[in-house]
Amino acid sequence: MGRWWVVALSEAVHGDKALAVTCEGEQLAVFRDGKGAVFALEDRCPHRRVPLSPGPVKAGGLQCPYHGWTFDGATGLCNDIPNLRRDERVPARYAVRAFPAAEANGFIHVWRGAGTPAAVLPGASYRAAGREQTGSAVANIAFEQYLDVMLDGPECLVSFPGVHITDFFLGDPRRDGEHLVLDRGAVWKCKGNGPAFVRDHSLWVRTRVPLRGGDIRVELLSADEEPLVTIFIAASENRRGTTSLVWRGFRHATAAPLSWRWRMARAIGRAPFAIFPHIDGAAVAALEVAPSRDRRLAKTDARTPAERVVPVQERCAV
Amino acid sequence: MSEVPMMDAAGREAEATSKRDWVPINLDLRDTWFPVAYSADIGERAVRRIVHAQDVYLWRDGGRLYAAEFRPDRLEAMRAGASAFTNGSGFYPAVERYGYIWTWYGNPDNAHEELIPNIPFLPPDGQGIPRYTQRAVRFDAASPLSVENLIDLTHADFLHANAIGDSQSENDVVEVHSTSETVTRIRNVTRKSVAPVMRWIGGVRAQYQDLRAVLHVHLRNNVCISYPNFTPGYPIPNVQPFVPVGKHRSRVDQTNYTVHAPAPFRWLMPRISYVIQPQDNSVLRPQNARYFESTERRDLSSRFDGPGNRYRLLMVRLAERQQRGDFGYGADADPSADISAVLGMRG
Ligand code: FES
Ligand SMILES: [Fe+2]
């Protein structure tokens, strides 16, 4: 069964140019027609294998930059080979692979794999309520590792200015449908005697990581679990062990007690979070495999009850 | 409208070819001369060139030319490791002609000078070929893909639109001829709009001109000999030998023989390759990588690919013949035969 992947920010695809993206290791060309509808084609011309994405978008679809064959966005069918006579027609089987594409809340999704595209888009779970900060990057870490590190050590992947994310996580990951959710303690920097001495953490960082697919949610919460920052990060396998990232996030309006730094940063319009495109290899390598173990097990174990990740006896086995 | 009348004879040939494996990256044709360097580029200091991932060191000593598998200072120490390409001597057969140094790639016993391609517009002894006609460019693809790019006429309107101008013309006819060792593509265009470069610096004031362009390709060594003749105007004969460096790269020491064209066109025209080459490379580089993929999905073709697909077919045939151990030249092949009539040279 296939699934939806977020491949781009809505605002990154515009005009008569296509955007080259990589999803599940495969290169795609994403573009819009004159009416704004979005399409995704395999980024490989069936004529002489050249990438289509550098070509212009024409009325009939995306035009290959090499010889001008043009492909319909919805069907992938080749509808123009330049210089044909009027009585000549392009054979019906001349086509490039086309992928269903859809948009929600500022994310462009592509359906990959078998089956009818699911009605619910991953990006539908994100709703901005505040000024957004968005971005995209290719991170120097493999896709599955990115998801695992989001559980084992999210401080290697994201930061909130003025916030120290501790590695004290609460219990084991909770299963929430097709996701694992884990909270960990965080403290304001330069407040008190440092994270080791706090009796109770003043903040939480909650990561919600998929078993399959690439939709991640990271939240900074107050001690009362009131959201301060929400980030939706879409990850997908890029080439050579790298990971494509696309994100949107925002700072919530809140009455929760905040550090002076946080208020200052908000006042001068500083970004409320950062996503790292360059990941510290030494820091990642030093992480113990801890909650991500549950993710790997849950991925392979179809019998897992929805509310528990792994039956106890199985966890003791091996 | 009915379907597929697009498949005329050339189209059907294209179809037939594309059903076969086309693996341009692995073609390694033997027993041929490669123009590995301009004669003028080689002096006493050894220069390293590569043919099919194999080293060729070139230098002169006491007026003599040497082409060896090893650098001169290591030659004695390494000679024991010399390959069959030099019969264990370490030295390749080498000949100077048309301003190039040609080295033999294959069994040295079969290295005959008559197998060097005839280039009728260049002086055989290379004397008086101006240096401004010689430009070395590099392509990020195996040689056969670059040759296909040269044979292929339809990409110019898209990839080179800004450099070459539009393709408006009254009539545009392409024919292909071939032997077991060559492909010849002849293009006749009547009343085409004069290319901007010819109008502005080439002294052609007319609005329209006719073009007869002949491209003659030698399959084994990828030597492409071109004779585009413009009326009104003049011919711009050129040689583009795609020397295979390996499965991913090729090197071309071009000779754009513009000596009969007016100044400053004569000097500027050879530089156009520095505009064209990056444009071609932008498609060749990703293309080449994708020809390493499994060939389950064969390339689709249109009738405009007739000449290119003929080239593919002949290359595959030649490779198959060599796989069977037959490295000889067929009765229909004589590389050194005078091709001035084939090229349509006047006088
Ligand atoms: S490679 Fe795309 S049209 Fe030729
Ligand atoms: Fe070209």
Which domain-ending residue is among B73, B103, B130?
A: B130
Interface of B with A in 91-120 (CB under 8 A): none
Alpha-carbon distance of A255 to A251, in angstroms, equals 12
Number of domains in chain B: 2
Give me the domain span that covers residue A13.
Answer: 3-122
Would you call A50 and B2 a contact, using CB atoms and an 8 Å cutoff? no
pLDDT in tens, chain A (318 residues): 899 999 999 999 999 999 999 999 999 999 999 999 999 999 999 999 999 999 999 999 999 999 999 999 999 999 999 989 889 999 999 999 999 999 999 999 999 999 999 999 999 999 999 999 999 999 999 999 999 999 999 999 999 999 999 999 998 899 999 999 999 999 988 766 667 777 788 899 999 999 999 999 999 999 999 999 999 999 999 999 999 999 999 999 887 777 877 788 888 888 999 999 999 999 999 999 999 999 999 988 744 444 444 444 444 333
Which domain-ending residue is among A87, A105, A122?
A: A122
Residue with tokens 């590695």: A167
Confidence at residue A59, expressed as pLDDT on a 0 to 100 scale: 95
Residue B2 lies in a domain: no
The model's pLDDT over B207-254, given as tens digits with 9 standing for 90+, comes to 899 999 999 999 999 999 999 999 998 999 999 999 999 999 999 999
The model's pLDDT over B19-37, given as tens digits with 9 standing for 90+, comes to 455 677 778 999 999 999 9
Three-state DSSP state, B57? strand
CA of B160 to the centre of ligand 2 (A): 7
Residue B1 lies in a domain: no
The model's pLDDT over B264-321, given as tens digits with 9 standing for 90+, comes to 889 988 888 888 899 999 999 999 999 988 767 889 999 999 999 999 999 999 999 9
Which domain-ending residue is among A104, A122, A140?
A: A122
Pair of tokens at residue A54: 């550098």
Q: Do A16 and A88 belong to one domain?
A: yes
Q: Do A148 and A287 belong to one domain?
A: yes
CA of B197 to the centre of ligand 1 (A): 26
Q: Do B225 and B319 belong to one domain?
A: yes
ipTM: 0.89
Beta strand B250-256 with B134-139 is: antiparallel
Angle value at C-alpha B279, between A30 and B284, nearest 5 degrees: 75
Looking at the CA of B276, which ligand is closest?
2
Q: Do B123 and B20 belong to one domain?
A: no
Give me the domain span that covers residue B181.
Answer: 10-25+134-343
The model's pLDDT over B136-177, given as tens digits with 9 standing for 90+, comes to 999 999 999 999 999 998 898 889 877 666 667 788 899 999
Pocket lined around ligand 1, Cβ cut-off 6 Å = A 45, 47-48, 50, 64, 66-69
Q: Measured between beta carbons, which residues in chain B are less than 8 angstroms from residue A87?
A: 1, 5
Alpha-carbon distance of A31 to A63, in angstroms, equals 11
Alpha-carbon distance of B306 to B288, in angstroms, equals 21
Backbone angles phi, psi at A290, to 5 degrees: -125, -95
Q: Do A227 and A81 belong to one domain?
A: no
Confidence at residue A178, expressed as pLDDT on a 0 to 100 scale: 93
Q: Compute the count of residue pairs across chains A and B with CB atoms less than 8 Å apart.
A: 68
Beta carbons within 8 Å of A59's beta carbon, 6+ residues apart: A34
Alpha-carbon distance of A188 to A166, in angstroms, equals 11
Backbone angles phi, psi at A222, to 5 degrees: -75, 175
Q: Do A146 and A294 belong to one domain?
A: yes
DSSP collapsed to 3 states, B260-286: CCCCCHHHHHHHHHHHHHHHHHHHHHH
Looking at the CA of A67, which ligand is closest?
1
**Residue among B157, B283, B297 minimizing CB distance to A68:** B157
Alpha-carbon distance of A129 to A123, in angstroms, equals 15
Would you call B159 and A89 a contact, using CB atoms and an 8 Å cutoff? no
Exposed e or buried b per residue across A184-209, where buried means at least 16 C-beta atoms within 10 angstroms of its C-beta: bbbbbbeeeeebeebeebbbbbbbbb
Average pLDDT in chain B: 90
- Substitution site in A48, A79, A81 for ligand 1 pocket (most atoms within 8 Å of beta carbon): A48
Q: Do B76 and B141 belong to one domain?
A: no
Q: Do B17 and B55 belong to one domain?
A: no
Alpha-carbon distance of B306 to B308, in angstroms, equals 6
What is the reported pTM?
0.90
Contact B108, B254 (CB under 8 A): no
